[in-house]
């Protein structure tokens, strides 16, 4: 059955404080910014200062009478300076402090917020800005003295980059205690809307914004080893070895021919990056990543295996005419990377088999997935699995005649469609076999006012732990869907 219920989003456990090393601190007192409009103006006052969330972001507020430190783990793609922090929350008339921490719990700066009389973004500036290094984890947090806080579950399900600021799976952290402390506990991959104010060292440094698949576009992906990409048979980037033979995919109702065909001889290769338009990659066994940064690229009869990347196969959002045909993608499961995606980006994905990752496909606008098979998802950490993840700012995506099998998993979905990063429009999920998870499919418009338009039609659905579907604040066409076991209408 469908559900429109919302489960509790409070951290469920109160935890003792841990001792932390404390470095010399910066102290400051600054006025609060009590509305999203004021926050935007205050941020714009410092040229090139970045924050993770747009100034227009709002969030639901949870009631919690306990004192709790709430934060966000982050890193940056280029060195720069943290000038302060902000958070979204309710009006608080008692003292609150904001802090910047190193990854091992050393407090690098702190400041005191002014009292606020209305809910919204509250901002503070550190008396002495803190210079931080690229590709190093930090935590920005604030102490909520029992007045509640903003929270959204499943906000950090993959690696995502906004400007130069990077968040990873499970970035939202908390720590209960009357005096706060270094927050290092997570709950439901949620966000507490603690945000950093960051100024890159060079105002001319190139910045990009990516979507998850998270996220989003999960980055940073470890840089693949460049390899020649001729339009004929690609060459191996690894030492030559005897060709291996791919195993056939097990039979399934849809996507039974997905993956490298049985008996195909594959040539060993290291990571491959394609930058030449029109390249054909055929018959490789890639131990590493596959990155496509060119138009009209075809990859066929190829296996890609990596346990150390967030995107096993990544197609640049700007690439057009990319086709994957009979490709096998393996993220090595529990020996792989937390929050990894099997295939990310735009393209035509025909008979692609994905396993051993947290999220199977994270398609960009215009993507088509046909006759494919997502199965045996597995990931270290505290995964919230999505067979196909569409987290907004996406349109014109089709998934058809495929199997997405999350049997035995209770988190989160075979198909996730939500509006976290923007509208999700003209999403068509038709004629598939979709199995298991929490709710098997989602159309979740809880995050903001961006529209969702999605069609679920003529699918066979194996009911998840909580039901067939969670459809909330979305325009959904639901027709011809049946229970995978009984054949009765899936309602």
Q: Do the strands 80-89 and 194-200 form a parallel or antiparallel pair, or are they unpaired?
A: antiparallel
N-terminal to C-terminal alpha carbon distance within the chain:
5
Instruction: Supply the pLDDT for residue 8.
Output: 31
Look at residues 368, 370, 472, 350 and name the one whose alpha carbon lies nearest to residue 413.
472
Look at residues 364, 410, 225, 385 and name the one whose alpha carbon lies nearest to residue 308.
225
CA dist 388 and 367 (Å) reads 12
Instruction: Supply the pLDDT for residue 90.
Output: 85
Q: Do 186 and 172 form a contact (C-beta atoms < 8 A)?
A: yes
Q: What is the per-residue burial (b if ≥16 Cβ within 10 Å, else e) of 186-217? A: bbbbbbbbbbbbbbbeeeeeeeeebbbbbbbb
pTM attached to this predicted model: 0.55
H/E stretch holding 412: strand 412-417
Instruction: Supply the pLDDT for residue 253.
Output: 56
Locate 407 and state its tokens.
């049997």
Instruction: Supply the pLDDT for residue 114.
Output: 86
Domains of the chain: 8-200 (2.60.120), 244-483 (2.160.20)
- pLDDT averaged per 10 residues in sequence order, the chain, 491 residues: 36 29 34 35 53 89 85 95 94 85 93 86 94 94 88 83 89 89 85 96 47 35 36 32 36 76 95 97 97 98 95 96 98 92 97 96 98 94 92 97 93 94 96 95 93 97 94 96 95 89
| CB-based contacts of 193, cutoff 8 Å, min separation 6 | 53, 57, 59, 87, 88, 89, 149, 150, 151, 152
Residues facing 303 on adjacent strands:
285, 328
Hey, CA dihedral for 331, 334, 336, 342, is it positive or negative?
Answer: positive
For the CA atoms of 246, 252, 253, 254, what is the dihedral angle to 10 degrees? -40
Residues facing 196 on adjacent strands:
85
For the CA atoms of 340, 346, 349, 355, what is the dihedral angle to 10 degrees? 0
CA dist 287 and 181 (Å) reads 42
- Angle at the Cα of 455 (from 454 to 458), degrees rounded to 5? 155
| CB-based contacts of 381, cutoff 8 Å, min separation 6 | 169, 170, 338, 339, 358
For the CA atoms of 332, 333, 339, 345, what is the dihedral angle to 10 degrees? 50
> Is 378 exposed, middle or buried, given 0-12, 13-18 or 19+ CB atoms closer than 10 A?
middle
Q: Is the peptide bond before 220 cis (omega within 30 degrees of 0)?
A: yes
Q: What is the DSSP letter of 364?
A: -
């Amino acid at each position: 059955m469908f559900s429109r219920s919302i489960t509790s989003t409070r951290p469920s456990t109160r935890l003792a404080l841990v001792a932390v090393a404390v470095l010399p601190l910066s102290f400051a007192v600054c006025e609060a910014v009590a509305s999203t409009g004021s926050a935007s103006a205050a941020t714009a006052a410092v040229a090139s200062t970045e924050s993770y969330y747009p100034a227009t972001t709002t969030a639901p507020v949870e009631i919690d009478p306990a004192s709790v430190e709430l934060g966000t783990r982050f890193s940056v793609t280029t060195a720069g300076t943290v000038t302060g922090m902000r958070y979204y929350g309710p009006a608080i008339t008692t003292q609150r402090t904001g802090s910047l921490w190193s990854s091992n719990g050393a407090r690098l700066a702190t400041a005191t917020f002014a009292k606020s009389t209305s809910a919204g973004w509250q901002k503070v500036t550190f008396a002495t800005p803190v210079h931080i290094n690229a590709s190093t984890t930090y935590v920005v947090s604030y102490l909520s003295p029992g007045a509640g806080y903003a929270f959204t579950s499943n906000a950090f399900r993959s690696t995502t980059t906004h400007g130069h600021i990077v968040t990873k799976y499970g970035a939202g952290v908390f720590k209960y205690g009357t005096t706060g402390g270094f927050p290092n506990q997570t709950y439901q991959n949620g966000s507490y809307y603690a945000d950093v104010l960051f100024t890159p060292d060079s105002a001319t440094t190139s910045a990009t914004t990516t979507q998850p698949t998270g996220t989003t576009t999960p980055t940073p992906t470890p840089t693949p080893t460049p390899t020649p990409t001729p339009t004929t048979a690609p060459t191996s980037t690894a030492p030559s070895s005897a060709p291996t033979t791919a195993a056939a995919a097990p039979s399934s109702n849809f996507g039974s021919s997905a993956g490298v065909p049985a008996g195909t001889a594959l040539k060993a290769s290291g990571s491959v990056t394609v930058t030449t338009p029109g390249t054909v990659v055929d018959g490789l066994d890639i131990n590493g990543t596959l990155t496509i940064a060119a138009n009209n690229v075809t990859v066929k009869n190829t296996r890609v295996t990596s346990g150390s990347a967030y995107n096993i196969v990544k197609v640049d959002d700007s690439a057009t005419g990319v086709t994957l045909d009979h490709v096998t993608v393996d993220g090595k499961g529990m020996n792989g990377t937390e929050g990894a995606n099997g295939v990310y980006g735009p393209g035509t994905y025909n008979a692609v088999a994905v396993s051993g990752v947290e999220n199977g496909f994270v398609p960009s606008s215009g993507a088509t997935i046909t006759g494919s098979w997502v199965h045996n998802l597995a990931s270290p950490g505290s995964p919230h699995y999505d067979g196909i993840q569409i987290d907004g700012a996406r349109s014109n995506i089709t998934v058809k005649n495929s199997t997405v099998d999350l049997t035995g998993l209770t988190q989160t979905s075979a198909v996730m469609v939500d509006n976290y990063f923007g509208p999700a429009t003209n999403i068509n999920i038709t004629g598939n076999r979709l199995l298991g998870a929490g709710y098997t499919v989602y159309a979740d418009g809880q995050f903001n006012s961006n529209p969702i338009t999605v069609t679920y039609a003529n699918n066979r659905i194996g009911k998840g732990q909580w039901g067939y579907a969670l459809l909330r604040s979305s325009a959904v066409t639901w027709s011809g869907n049946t229970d995978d076991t009984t054949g009765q209408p899936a309602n």
